[in-house]
Amino acid sequence: MKSQTELEVKFLVPPAARAGIAAELARGSAARARIQLTALYLDTPDRRLAQAGMAWRLRREGRRWIQTLKAGSTNALERFEHEAIRPGPTADADEHAGTRPGDRLITTLRRARADGVEPVERFRTEVRRKVRRIRTRGAVVEVAFDEGRVVSAGASQPIREIEFELVSGSPMAMLCLAERWRKRFALVYDPRSKAERGDRLAGGSLFPPLRKAARLRYAEDAAATEAFGVVLDECLAQITRNAIGLIEGDPVQRVEHVHQSRVGIRRLRSALRSFQGWVPMPPTELVENLRSLFATLGMSRDSDVLGSGVFAELTRAGAPALEVPPGPTGPDPVEVVRSAAAQRSFLAWIAWRATFASAPGESGVGALKTELPPEAQHLAGPAGTAETPESETSNALRPDAAGPEANAKPEEVASDDPRTFRRNVARRLRRWHGRIVSDWNSFDTLDDAGLHALRKRIKRQRYAVEFFAPLLRRRQVERYLAALSAIQDRMGELNDLFVARARYLTLGTPDPTAWFALGWLAARIAEVRALAKPKLAKLAKADPPKP
Protein backbone atom coordinates (compact mmCIF):
# COMPACT_ATOMS: atom_id res chain seq x y z
CA MET A 1 0.00 0.00 0.00
CA LYS A 2 1.10 3.56 -0.64
CA SER A 3 -0.28 6.70 0.98
CA GLN A 4 0.90 10.15 0.07
CA THR A 5 -0.05 13.71 -0.67
CA GLU A 6 0.19 14.46 -4.38
CA LEU A 7 1.43 17.84 -5.54
CA GLU A 8 0.38 18.37 -9.13
CA VAL A 9 -0.93 20.87 -11.66
CA LYS A 10 -2.81 20.06 -14.85
CA PHE A 11 -3.50 21.74 -18.22
CA LEU A 12 -5.63 21.23 -21.30
CA VAL A 13 -3.52 20.68 -24.43
CA PRO A 14 -4.58 22.60 -27.56
CA PRO A 15 -4.75 20.41 -30.70
CA ALA A 16 -1.93 22.40 -32.32
CA ALA A 17 0.41 21.55 -29.42
CA ARG A 18 -0.12 17.79 -29.47
CA ALA A 19 2.72 16.85 -31.78
CA GLY A 20 5.20 19.16 -30.08
CA ILE A 21 4.43 17.81 -26.63
CA ALA A 22 4.63 14.19 -27.82
CA ALA A 23 8.05 14.90 -29.34
CA GLU A 24 9.26 16.63 -26.17
CA LEU A 25 8.19 13.70 -24.02
CA ALA A 26 10.03 11.25 -26.29
CA ARG A 27 13.29 13.13 -25.77
CA GLY A 28 15.99 12.06 -23.37
CA SER A 29 16.97 8.97 -21.46
CA ALA A 30 14.20 9.51 -18.91
CA ALA A 31 11.45 8.92 -21.49
CA ARG A 32 9.15 5.92 -21.02
CA ALA A 33 6.99 3.96 -23.42
CA ARG A 34 3.33 4.68 -23.97
CA ILE A 35 1.07 3.20 -21.27
CA GLN A 36 -2.53 2.12 -21.80
CA LEU A 37 -4.70 2.85 -18.74
CA THR A 38 -8.31 1.90 -18.07
CA ALA A 39 -9.83 3.18 -14.83
CA LEU A 40 -13.24 2.33 -13.35
CA TYR A 41 -14.64 4.99 -11.00
CA LEU A 42 -16.96 3.76 -8.27
CA ASP A 43 -19.67 5.63 -6.40
CA THR A 44 -23.21 5.15 -5.20
CA PRO A 45 -25.92 6.03 -7.74
CA ASP A 46 -26.78 9.08 -5.61
CA ARG A 47 -23.12 10.31 -5.66
CA ARG A 48 -22.35 10.02 -1.96
CA LEU A 49 -18.59 9.79 -2.50
CA ALA A 50 -18.46 12.71 -4.94
CA GLN A 51 -20.48 14.82 -2.53
CA ALA A 52 -17.99 13.96 0.23
CA GLY A 53 -15.09 15.08 -2.00
CA MET A 54 -13.73 11.57 -2.63
CA ALA A 55 -12.85 9.67 -5.82
CA TRP A 56 -12.52 5.87 -5.65
CA ARG A 57 -11.22 3.94 -8.65
CA LEU A 58 -9.83 0.65 -9.91
CA ARG A 59 -7.22 1.08 -12.63
CA ARG A 60 -5.59 -1.54 -14.79
CA GLU A 61 -1.89 -0.86 -15.28
CA GLY A 62 -0.46 -3.56 -17.50
CA ARG A 63 -1.35 -6.82 -15.73
CA ARG A 64 -1.95 -5.22 -12.35
CA TRP A 65 -5.09 -3.70 -10.84
CA ILE A 66 -4.48 -0.73 -8.54
CA GLN A 67 -7.24 0.51 -6.24
CA THR A 68 -6.90 4.21 -5.42
CA LEU A 69 -8.73 6.56 -3.08
CA LYS A 70 -8.29 10.28 -3.68
CA ALA A 71 -9.56 13.13 -1.57
CA GLY A 72 -9.43 16.75 -2.56
CA SER A 73 -7.77 19.58 -0.71
CA THR A 74 -8.86 23.19 -0.60
CA ASN A 75 -5.73 24.35 -2.42
CA ALA A 76 -5.07 23.92 -6.12
CA LEU A 77 -1.96 21.75 -5.85
CA GLU A 78 -2.47 19.22 -3.10
CA ARG A 79 -4.50 15.99 -3.05
CA PHE A 80 -4.50 12.96 -0.77
CA GLU A 81 -3.91 9.61 -2.49
CA HIS A 82 -3.85 6.08 -1.10
CA GLU A 83 -3.16 3.04 -3.30
CA ALA A 84 -3.48 -0.74 -2.85
CA ILE A 85 -2.78 -3.60 -5.27
CA ARG A 86 -5.86 -5.76 -5.97
CA PRO A 87 -6.04 -9.30 -7.42
CA GLY A 88 -8.56 -8.16 -10.04
CA PRO A 89 -11.24 -5.57 -10.81
CA THR A 90 -12.90 -5.98 -7.40
CA ALA A 91 -13.01 -3.19 -4.84
CA ASP A 92 -12.47 -3.41 -1.08
CA ALA A 93 -12.82 -0.21 0.95
CA ASP A 94 -11.06 -1.80 3.93
CA GLU A 95 -7.78 -1.53 2.00
CA HIS A 96 -7.84 2.20 2.88
CA ALA A 97 -8.61 1.75 6.58
CA GLY A 98 -6.38 3.70 8.93
CA THR A 99 -6.25 6.83 6.79
CA ARG A 100 -8.67 9.67 7.50
CA PRO A 101 -10.24 9.65 4.00
CA GLY A 102 -10.27 5.84 4.05
CA ASP A 103 -12.18 5.73 7.32
CA ARG A 104 -14.59 8.30 5.91
CA LEU A 105 -15.05 6.13 2.79
CA ILE A 106 -15.82 3.04 4.92
CA THR A 107 -18.34 4.97 7.03
CA THR A 108 -20.02 6.46 3.97
CA LEU A 109 -20.39 3.07 2.28
CA ARG A 110 -21.65 1.45 5.49
CA ARG A 111 -24.41 4.05 5.75
CA ALA A 112 -25.23 3.65 2.06
CA ARG A 113 -25.61 -0.11 2.45
CA ALA A 114 -27.87 0.45 5.45
CA ASP A 115 -30.06 2.44 3.04
CA GLY A 116 -29.94 -0.39 0.51
CA VAL A 117 -27.46 1.39 -1.78
CA GLU A 118 -24.32 -0.26 -3.18
CA PRO A 119 -21.37 1.34 -5.00
CA VAL A 120 -21.36 0.84 -8.76
CA GLU A 121 -19.21 1.85 -11.70
CA ARG A 122 -20.49 5.33 -12.63
CA PHE A 123 -17.98 6.04 -15.39
CA ARG A 124 -14.62 4.99 -16.73
CA THR A 125 -11.61 6.57 -18.38
CA GLU A 126 -9.60 5.05 -21.24
CA VAL A 127 -6.35 6.87 -21.94
CA ARG A 128 -2.99 6.43 -23.61
CA ARG A 129 -0.32 8.00 -21.41
CA LYS A 130 3.15 9.21 -22.35
CA VAL A 131 5.39 9.87 -19.36
CA ARG A 132 8.74 11.50 -18.86
CA ARG A 133 10.64 12.30 -15.68
CA ILE A 134 12.42 15.61 -15.83
CA ARG A 135 15.18 16.77 -13.54
CA THR A 136 14.98 20.50 -13.30
CA ARG A 137 16.95 22.67 -10.90
CA GLY A 138 15.34 22.09 -7.54
CA ALA A 139 12.95 19.24 -8.36
CA VAL A 140 12.24 15.97 -10.11
CA VAL A 141 8.92 16.22 -11.95
CA GLU A 142 6.89 13.54 -13.69
CA VAL A 143 5.20 14.92 -16.80
CA ALA A 144 2.30 12.81 -18.08
CA PHE A 145 0.41 13.45 -21.33
CA ASP A 146 -2.98 11.71 -21.48
CA GLU A 147 -5.14 11.24 -24.59
CA GLY A 148 -8.34 9.27 -24.59
CA ARG A 149 -11.88 9.63 -23.32
CA VAL A 150 -14.18 9.48 -20.33
CA VAL A 151 -17.21 7.22 -20.84
CA SER A 152 -20.52 6.86 -19.02
CA ALA A 153 -23.69 5.08 -20.17
CA GLY A 154 -22.90 5.46 -23.85
CA ALA A 155 -21.88 9.12 -23.61
CA SER A 156 -18.24 10.12 -23.91
CA GLN A 157 -15.98 13.14 -23.88
CA PRO A 158 -12.41 13.44 -25.16
CA ILE A 159 -9.44 13.82 -22.83
CA ARG A 160 -6.28 15.60 -23.92
CA GLU A 161 -4.38 16.92 -20.92
CA ILE A 162 -0.92 17.19 -19.45
CA GLU A 163 -0.05 16.88 -15.78
CA PHE A 164 3.04 17.94 -13.83
CA GLU A 165 3.49 15.97 -10.60
CA LEU A 166 6.23 16.60 -8.07
CA VAL A 167 8.31 13.49 -7.40
CA SER A 168 10.83 15.22 -5.14
CA GLY A 169 12.12 18.68 -4.42
CA SER A 170 10.48 22.09 -4.44
CA PRO A 171 6.84 22.73 -5.49
CA MET A 172 7.97 26.14 -6.74
CA ALA A 173 10.55 24.51 -9.02
CA MET A 174 7.80 22.26 -10.42
CA LEU A 175 5.58 25.29 -11.06
CA CYS A 176 8.38 27.16 -12.81
CA LEU A 177 8.84 24.16 -15.12
CA ALA A 178 5.08 24.06 -15.75
CA GLU A 179 5.09 27.78 -16.57
CA ARG A 180 7.77 27.30 -19.22
CA TRP A 181 5.77 24.50 -20.84
CA ARG A 182 2.57 26.54 -20.57
CA LYS A 183 4.16 29.41 -22.42
CA ARG A 184 5.81 27.23 -25.04
CA PHE A 185 2.71 25.16 -25.89
CA ALA A 186 -0.12 27.62 -25.03
CA LEU A 187 -1.46 25.28 -22.35
CA VAL A 188 -4.71 26.10 -20.52
CA TYR A 189 -4.88 25.61 -16.76
CA ASP A 190 -7.59 23.12 -15.78
CA PRO A 191 -8.46 22.78 -12.07
CA ARG A 192 -10.72 19.74 -12.66
CA SER A 193 -9.78 16.12 -12.03
CA LYS A 194 -10.82 13.28 -14.31
CA ALA A 195 -13.16 12.19 -11.53
CA GLU A 196 -14.95 15.55 -11.64
CA ARG A 197 -15.33 15.39 -15.39
CA GLY A 198 -16.64 11.84 -15.25
CA ASP A 199 -19.06 12.61 -12.45
CA ARG A 200 -20.46 15.50 -14.47
CA LEU A 201 -20.83 13.30 -17.57
CA ALA A 202 -22.50 10.53 -15.56
CA GLY A 203 -24.97 13.14 -14.34
CA GLY A 204 -25.95 13.92 -17.92
CA SER A 205 -24.04 17.17 -18.44
CA LEU A 206 -21.37 17.74 -21.09
CA PHE A 207 -20.33 21.11 -19.69
CA PRO A 208 -18.50 22.39 -16.59
CA PRO A 209 -20.94 23.85 -14.06
CA LEU A 210 -21.13 27.42 -12.86
CA ARG A 211 -18.94 27.81 -9.80
CA LYS A 212 -20.51 30.16 -7.27
CA ALA A 213 -18.94 31.16 -3.97
CA ALA A 214 -18.99 28.29 -1.48
CA ARG A 215 -19.44 28.42 2.26
CA LEU A 216 -16.12 28.77 4.05
CA ARG A 217 -15.07 26.34 6.75
CA TYR A 218 -12.21 26.68 9.17
CA ALA A 219 -11.86 26.21 12.93
CA GLU A 220 -13.34 28.75 15.36
CA ASP A 221 -9.92 29.02 16.97
CA ALA A 222 -8.09 29.55 13.65
CA ALA A 223 -5.37 32.16 13.39
CA ALA A 224 -5.32 34.75 10.61
CA THR A 225 -2.93 32.82 8.34
CA GLU A 226 -5.00 29.63 8.47
CA ALA A 227 -8.26 31.48 7.78
CA PHE A 228 -6.70 33.49 4.95
CA GLY A 229 -5.38 30.31 3.32
CA VAL A 230 -8.90 28.87 3.22
CA VAL A 231 -10.36 32.12 1.87
CA LEU A 232 -7.66 32.43 -0.78
CA ASP A 233 -8.17 28.83 -1.96
CA GLU A 234 -11.92 29.36 -2.28
CA CYS A 235 -11.54 32.58 -4.30
CA LEU A 236 -8.99 31.03 -6.66
CA ALA A 237 -11.25 28.01 -7.17
CA GLN A 238 -14.18 30.26 -8.13
CA ILE A 239 -12.05 32.22 -10.61
CA THR A 240 -10.31 29.32 -12.33
CA ARG A 241 -13.32 26.98 -12.48
CA ASN A 242 -15.45 29.62 -14.15
CA ALA A 243 -12.56 30.34 -16.52
CA ILE A 244 -12.54 26.69 -17.63
CA GLY A 245 -16.33 26.91 -17.78
CA LEU A 246 -16.01 29.74 -20.28
CA ILE A 247 -13.54 27.77 -22.39
CA GLU A 248 -15.35 24.41 -22.38
CA GLY A 249 -18.79 25.40 -21.17
CA ASP A 250 -22.30 25.88 -22.50
CA PRO A 251 -22.47 29.08 -24.61
CA VAL A 252 -25.89 29.75 -23.09
CA GLN A 253 -24.22 30.20 -19.69
CA ARG A 254 -21.39 32.39 -20.96
CA VAL A 255 -22.73 35.56 -19.33
CA GLU A 256 -23.02 33.82 -15.97
CA HIS A 257 -19.54 32.32 -16.19
CA VAL A 258 -18.19 35.82 -16.88
CA HIS A 259 -20.17 37.19 -13.95
CA GLN A 260 -19.00 34.49 -11.55
CA SER A 261 -15.38 34.87 -12.70
CA ARG A 262 -15.59 38.58 -11.87
CA VAL A 263 -17.27 37.83 -8.54
CA GLY A 264 -14.35 35.53 -7.70
CA ILE A 265 -11.83 38.24 -8.60
CA ARG A 266 -13.74 40.84 -6.61
CA ARG A 267 -13.89 38.50 -3.63
CA LEU A 268 -10.15 37.85 -3.81
CA ARG A 269 -9.37 41.56 -3.90
CA SER A 270 -11.75 42.09 -0.97
CA ALA A 271 -10.01 39.26 0.89
CA LEU A 272 -6.70 41.08 0.55
CA ARG A 273 -8.29 44.20 2.05
CA SER A 274 -10.03 42.19 4.77
CA PHE A 275 -6.81 40.50 5.95
CA GLN A 276 -4.44 43.38 5.23
CA GLY A 277 -1.95 43.95 8.04
CA TRP A 278 -2.49 40.48 9.53
CA VAL A 279 -0.89 38.26 6.88
CA PRO A 280 1.79 38.71 4.19
CA MET A 281 0.44 40.25 0.99
CA PRO A 282 1.09 39.02 -2.59
CA PRO A 283 3.34 40.77 -5.14
CA THR A 284 1.89 43.94 -6.63
CA GLU A 285 2.13 42.42 -10.11
CA LEU A 286 -0.29 39.63 -9.20
CA VAL A 287 -2.90 42.05 -7.91
CA GLU A 288 -2.60 44.35 -10.92
CA ASN A 289 -2.90 41.46 -13.39
CA LEU A 290 -6.08 40.36 -11.65
CA ARG A 291 -7.44 43.92 -11.74
CA SER A 292 -6.79 44.07 -15.49
CA LEU A 293 -8.57 40.74 -16.08
CA PHE A 294 -11.55 41.99 -14.05
CA ALA A 295 -11.82 45.16 -16.14
CA THR A 296 -11.51 43.32 -19.46
CA LEU A 297 -14.19 40.79 -18.55
CA GLY A 298 -16.32 43.71 -17.36
CA MET A 299 -16.36 45.23 -20.84
CA SER A 300 -17.87 42.03 -22.17
CA ARG A 301 -20.40 41.73 -19.35
CA ASP A 302 -21.63 45.34 -19.65
CA SER A 303 -22.68 44.73 -23.25
CA ASP A 304 -24.47 41.48 -22.41
CA VAL A 305 -26.22 42.71 -19.27
CA LEU A 306 -27.41 46.00 -20.73
CA GLY A 307 -28.71 44.29 -23.86
CA SER A 308 -30.89 41.91 -21.84
CA GLY A 309 -31.58 44.20 -18.87
CA VAL A 310 -32.00 47.96 -19.01
CA PHE A 311 -32.54 48.12 -22.78
CA ALA A 312 -35.18 45.38 -22.56
CA GLU A 313 -36.96 47.41 -19.87
CA LEU A 314 -36.88 50.48 -22.10
CA THR A 315 -38.52 48.54 -24.91
CA ARG A 316 -41.28 47.35 -22.59
CA ALA A 317 -41.74 50.96 -21.44
CA GLY A 318 -42.54 51.97 -25.03
CA ALA A 319 -39.21 53.36 -26.20
CA PRO A 320 -38.94 53.98 -29.96
CA ALA A 321 -37.39 51.20 -32.01
CA LEU A 322 -33.67 51.40 -31.39
CA GLU A 323 -30.42 49.60 -31.67
CA VAL A 324 -28.17 48.99 -28.70
CA PRO A 325 -26.39 52.34 -28.18
CA PRO A 326 -22.81 52.39 -29.43
CA GLY A 327 -20.09 51.70 -26.96
CA PRO A 328 -16.81 49.87 -26.70
CA THR A 329 -17.14 46.41 -28.23
CA GLY A 330 -16.66 43.87 -25.50
CA PRO A 331 -13.86 41.36 -26.09
CA ASP A 332 -14.63 37.68 -26.46
CA PRO A 333 -14.45 36.44 -22.85
CA VAL A 334 -13.32 32.98 -23.98
CA GLU A 335 -10.27 34.48 -25.66
CA VAL A 336 -9.70 36.71 -22.62
CA VAL A 337 -9.32 33.76 -20.21
CA ARG A 338 -7.42 31.71 -22.81
CA SER A 339 -4.90 34.51 -23.29
CA ALA A 340 -1.31 34.10 -22.18
CA ALA A 341 -1.74 36.97 -19.72
CA ALA A 342 -4.70 35.36 -17.95
CA GLN A 343 -3.18 31.86 -17.90
CA ARG A 344 0.11 33.21 -16.61
CA SER A 345 -1.77 35.09 -13.89
CA PHE A 346 -3.64 31.96 -12.76
CA LEU A 347 -0.45 29.95 -12.43
CA ALA A 348 1.34 32.82 -10.69
CA TRP A 349 -1.39 32.99 -8.05
CA ILE A 350 -1.17 29.24 -7.52
CA ALA A 351 2.60 29.62 -7.16
CA TRP A 352 2.22 32.37 -4.59
CA ARG A 353 -0.33 30.30 -2.70
CA ALA A 354 2.22 27.47 -2.59
CA THR A 355 4.61 29.76 -0.70
CA PHE A 356 2.01 30.92 1.79
CA ALA A 357 2.05 29.36 5.27
CA SER A 358 -1.59 28.39 5.81
CA ALA A 359 -1.20 26.86 9.24
CA PRO A 360 1.69 26.20 11.61
CA GLY A 361 2.72 22.56 11.73
CA GLU A 362 1.00 21.46 8.53
CA SER A 363 2.77 19.20 6.08
CA GLY A 364 2.83 19.63 2.33
CA VAL A 365 2.13 22.91 0.57
CA GLY A 366 0.61 24.53 3.64
CA ALA A 367 3.87 24.24 5.57
CA LEU A 368 6.02 26.10 3.05
CA LYS A 369 7.58 29.37 4.14
CA THR A 370 6.46 32.66 2.63
CA GLU A 371 9.81 33.18 0.89
CA LEU A 372 10.51 31.45 -2.41
CA PRO A 373 13.11 28.68 -2.20
CA PRO A 374 16.53 29.52 -3.69
CA GLU A 375 16.22 26.85 -6.40
CA ALA A 376 13.23 28.69 -7.87
CA GLN A 377 15.21 31.85 -8.49
CA HIS A 378 17.36 30.52 -11.32
CA LEU A 379 15.10 28.05 -13.14
CA ALA A 380 15.55 28.72 -16.82
CA GLY A 381 16.26 27.33 -20.26
CA PRO A 382 13.99 25.25 -22.53
CA ALA A 383 11.46 22.96 -20.90
CA GLY A 384 13.21 20.26 -18.94
CA THR A 385 16.64 21.90 -18.85
CA ALA A 386 18.41 24.41 -16.64
CA GLU A 387 21.40 25.31 -18.76
CA THR A 388 20.97 29.01 -19.47
CA PRO A 389 18.98 31.84 -17.87
CA GLU A 390 15.51 32.37 -19.27
CA SER A 391 14.68 36.06 -18.96
CA GLU A 392 11.11 35.52 -20.09
CA THR A 393 10.10 33.29 -17.19
CA SER A 394 7.13 34.92 -15.49
CA ASN A 395 8.31 37.64 -13.11
CA ALA A 396 5.42 36.70 -10.85
CA LEU A 397 7.24 33.44 -10.12
CA ARG A 398 10.35 35.30 -8.97
CA PRO A 399 10.85 36.71 -5.45
CA ASP A 400 12.21 40.04 -6.69
CA ALA A 401 8.80 40.82 -8.23
CA ALA A 402 7.18 41.05 -4.81
CA GLY A 403 6.22 44.40 -3.40
CA PRO A 404 7.18 45.49 0.10
CA GLU A 405 4.05 43.98 1.66
CA ALA A 406 4.82 40.53 0.24
CA ASN A 407 8.27 40.60 1.89
CA ALA A 408 7.00 41.83 5.22
CA LYS A 409 8.77 40.33 8.20
CA PRO A 410 6.65 38.42 10.70
CA GLU A 411 7.03 41.20 13.30
CA GLU A 412 5.61 43.75 10.82
CA VAL A 413 2.16 42.09 10.71
CA ALA A 414 -0.34 41.47 13.50
CA SER A 415 0.50 38.60 15.81
CA ASP A 416 -0.83 35.35 14.33
CA ASP A 417 -2.72 34.50 17.48
CA PRO A 418 -6.37 33.32 17.38
CA ARG A 419 -7.52 35.70 20.11
CA THR A 420 -5.81 38.66 18.46
CA PHE A 421 -7.36 37.67 15.14
CA ARG A 422 -10.87 37.62 16.61
CA ARG A 423 -10.41 41.05 18.20
CA ASN A 424 -9.04 42.44 14.94
CA VAL A 425 -12.01 41.04 13.01
CA ALA A 426 -14.54 42.65 15.36
CA ARG A 427 -12.79 46.04 15.15
CA ARG A 428 -12.50 45.95 11.36
CA LEU A 429 -16.15 45.05 10.82
CA ARG A 430 -17.25 47.85 13.17
CA ARG A 431 -15.04 50.41 11.44
CA TRP A 432 -16.21 49.47 7.96
CA HIS A 433 -19.82 49.47 9.14
CA GLY A 434 -19.26 53.00 10.46
CA ARG A 435 -18.34 54.21 6.97
CA ILE A 436 -21.60 52.80 5.60
CA VAL A 437 -23.49 54.62 8.36
CA SER A 438 -21.74 57.87 7.37
CA ASP A 439 -22.87 57.38 3.76
CA TRP A 440 -26.42 56.74 4.94
CA ASN A 441 -26.43 60.03 6.81
CA SER A 442 -25.45 61.89 3.62
CA PHE A 443 -27.28 59.62 1.16
CA ASP A 444 -29.50 62.35 -0.34
CA THR A 445 -26.47 64.43 -1.35
CA LEU A 446 -24.32 61.62 -2.78
CA ASP A 447 -23.45 62.06 -6.46
CA ASP A 448 -22.81 59.21 -8.90
CA ALA A 449 -19.23 58.78 -7.69
CA GLY A 450 -20.37 58.75 -4.07
CA LEU A 451 -23.03 56.13 -4.80
CA HIS A 452 -20.46 54.00 -6.62
CA ALA A 453 -18.12 54.20 -3.61
CA LEU A 454 -21.00 53.24 -1.30
CA ARG A 455 -21.81 50.23 -3.48
CA LYS A 456 -18.20 49.07 -3.24
CA ARG A 457 -18.19 49.46 0.55
CA ILE A 458 -21.36 47.41 0.86
CA LYS A 459 -19.88 44.62 -1.28
CA ARG A 460 -16.64 44.67 0.68
CA GLN A 461 -18.53 44.44 3.96
CA ARG A 462 -20.62 41.53 2.71
CA TYR A 463 -17.58 39.60 1.53
CA ALA A 464 -15.72 40.33 4.77
CA VAL A 465 -18.59 38.96 6.87
CA GLU A 466 -18.64 35.83 4.67
CA PHE A 467 -14.86 35.44 5.04
CA PHE A 468 -15.03 35.74 8.83
CA ALA A 469 -18.33 33.86 9.27
CA PRO A 470 -16.76 30.75 10.92
CA LEU A 471 -15.67 33.05 13.79
CA LEU A 472 -18.95 34.96 14.13
CA ARG A 473 -22.28 34.26 15.77
CA ARG A 474 -24.37 32.46 13.18
CA ARG A 475 -27.74 34.18 13.73
CA GLN A 476 -26.13 37.62 13.72
CA VAL A 477 -24.36 36.73 10.47
CA GLU A 478 -27.62 35.64 8.84
CA ARG A 479 -29.49 38.82 9.82
CA TYR A 480 -26.66 41.12 8.82
CA LEU A 481 -26.06 39.40 5.48
CA ALA A 482 -29.79 39.65 4.68
CA ALA A 483 -29.64 43.43 5.22
CA LEU A 484 -26.46 43.69 3.13
CA SER A 485 -27.92 41.63 0.30
CA ALA A 486 -31.09 43.73 0.09
CA ILE A 487 -29.27 47.05 -0.31
CA GLN A 488 -26.61 45.50 -2.57
CA ASP A 489 -29.31 44.46 -5.06
CA ARG A 490 -30.65 48.01 -5.23
CA MET A 491 -27.17 49.51 -5.59
CA GLY A 492 -26.42 47.06 -8.41
CA GLU A 493 -29.58 48.14 -10.20
CA LEU A 494 -28.53 51.77 -9.86
CA ASN A 495 -25.13 50.97 -11.32
CA ASP A 496 -26.69 49.34 -14.41
CA LEU A 497 -28.86 52.42 -14.90
CA PHE A 498 -25.84 54.71 -14.70
CA VAL A 499 -23.98 52.62 -17.30
CA ALA A 500 -27.01 52.74 -19.63
CA ARG A 501 -27.35 56.49 -19.21
CA ALA A 502 -23.68 56.96 -20.15
CA ARG A 503 -24.28 54.95 -23.34
CA TYR A 504 -27.30 57.03 -24.36
CA LEU A 505 -25.48 60.28 -23.71
CA THR A 506 -23.11 59.29 -26.53
CA LEU A 507 -26.05 59.41 -28.99
CA GLY A 508 -26.47 63.16 -28.60
CA THR A 509 -29.58 65.05 -27.51
CA PRO A 510 -31.04 65.60 -31.02
CA ASP A 511 -31.69 61.88 -31.29
CA PRO A 512 -35.34 61.17 -30.27
CA THR A 513 -34.29 57.77 -28.93
CA ALA A 514 -31.92 59.49 -26.54
CA TRP A 515 -34.63 61.97 -25.42
CA PHE A 516 -37.01 59.17 -24.50
CA ALA A 517 -34.35 56.95 -22.93
CA LEU A 518 -32.67 59.67 -20.88
CA GLY A 519 -35.99 60.84 -19.52
CA TRP A 520 -37.01 57.30 -18.59
CA LEU A 521 -33.61 56.61 -17.04
CA ALA A 522 -33.72 59.80 -14.95
CA ALA A 523 -37.11 58.82 -13.56
CA ARG A 524 -36.03 55.24 -12.92
CA ILE A 525 -32.81 56.34 -11.18
CA ALA A 526 -34.82 58.60 -8.84
CA GLU A 527 -37.23 55.76 -8.15
CA VAL A 528 -34.49 53.23 -7.35
CA ARG A 529 -32.68 55.74 -5.11
CA ALA A 530 -35.91 56.20 -3.16
CA LEU A 531 -36.33 52.42 -2.86
CA ALA A 532 -32.71 52.00 -1.77
CA LYS A 533 -32.82 54.51 1.08
CA PRO A 534 -34.90 52.46 3.57
CA LYS A 535 -32.82 49.36 2.76
CA LEU A 536 -29.68 51.32 3.57
CA ALA A 537 -31.28 52.63 6.76
CA LYS A 538 -32.02 49.06 7.88
CA LEU A 539 -28.40 48.09 7.32
CA ALA A 540 -27.07 51.21 9.04
CA LYS A 541 -29.13 50.47 12.16
CA ALA A 542 -28.01 46.83 12.32
CA ASP A 543 -25.07 45.75 14.44
CA PRO A 544 -22.26 43.94 12.62
CA PRO A 545 -21.91 40.35 13.86
CA LYS A 546 -19.48 39.64 16.68
CA PRO A 547 -17.17 36.69 17.41
249 contacts: CB under 8 Å, gap ≥ 6:
207, 208, 257
Is the pLDDT score of 30 beyond 70? Answer: no
Cα–Cα distance for residue pair 36/60, rounded to 1 Å: 8
pLDDT tens-digit series, residues 302-317: 555 555 566 667 667 6
Q: Residues of the chain with pLDDT > 70: what percent?
A: 81
The whole-number pLDDT of residue 380 equals: 29
Cα–Cα distance for residue pair 363/5, rounded to 1 Å: 9
1-206 matches 417-541 in fold: no
Task: Indicate the SS3 state at residue 264.
Answer: helix
The whole-number pLDDT of residue 246 equals: 96
Cα–Cα distance for residue pair 380/393, rounded to 1 Å: 7
The whole-number pLDDT of residue 307 equals: 55
372 contacts: CB under 8 Å, gap ≥ 6:
172, 355, 397, 398, 399
43-66 burial string, b = 16+ CB within 10 Å, else e?
bbeeebbbeeebbbbbbbeeeebb
Across 2-34, where does the E strand assignment appear?
2-12
On the 0-12 / 13-18 / 19+ scale of CB atoms within 10 A, 388 is exposed
pLDDT tens-digit series, residues 278-297: 999 999 999 999 999 999 99
On the 0-12 / 13-18 / 19+ scale of CB atoms within 10 A, 338 is middle
Query: Which candidate, 42, 26, 148, places its Cα nearest to that of 96?
Result: 42
Contact status, residue 166 vs residue 144, Cβ threshold 8 Å? no
Cα of first residue to Cα of last residue in the chain, in angstroms, is 44
Query: Which candidate, 455, 441, 437, 444, places its Cα nearest to that of 491?
Result: 455
Task: Indicate the SS3 state at residue 344.
Answer: helix
Is the pLDDT score of 410 beyond 50? Answer: no
Query: Helix 418-441 to helix 512-541 angle, to the nearest 10 degrees?
Result: 130
CB atoms within 10 A of CB 488: 19
Compute the residue count for the chain.
547
pLDDT tens-digit series, residues 240-273: 999 999 999 999 899 899 999 999 999 999 999 9
The whole-number pLDDT of residue 374 equals: 44
Mean pLDDT of all residues in 221-239: 95
In this prediction the pTM is: 0.86
Sequence spans of domains, the chain = 1-206, 223-300+329-416, 417-541
Is the pLDDT score of 352 beyond 90? Answer: yes
Task: Indicate the SS3 state at residue 357.
Answer: coil
pLDDT tens-digit series, residues 497-538: 888 888 777 765 556 666 777 888 888 899 999 999 999 999
The domain 1-206 having CATH identifier 3.30.43.10: the answer here is no
Q: Residues of the chain with pLDDT > 90: what percent?
A: 70
* 3-state helix/strand/coil string of 464-533: HHHHHHHHCCHHHHHHHHHHHHHHHHHHHHHHHHHHHHHHHHCCCCCCHHHHHHHHHHHHHHHHHHHHHH
Cα–Cα distance for residue pair 377/386, rounded to 1 Å: 11
205 contacts: CB under 8 Å, gap ≥ 6:
none
Angstrom CA distances, 539 to 84, 115, 215, 480, 498, stand at 56, 46, 22, 7, 23
* Mean of the per-residue pLDDT values of the chain: 85
The four Cα atoms 400, 406, 407, 408 give a dihedral, to 10 degrees, of 160
Kindly tell me the sign of the dihedral angle through the C-alpha atoms of 311, 313, 314, 315: positive
The domain 417-541 having CATH identifier 1.40.20.10: the answer here is yes
Confidence of residue 331 (pLDDT cuts 50, 70, 90): confident
Contact status, residue 194 vs residue 159, Cβ threshold 8 Å? yes
Cα–Cα distance for residue pair 147/114, rounded to 1 Å: 39
> Which amino acid belongs to residue 414?
A
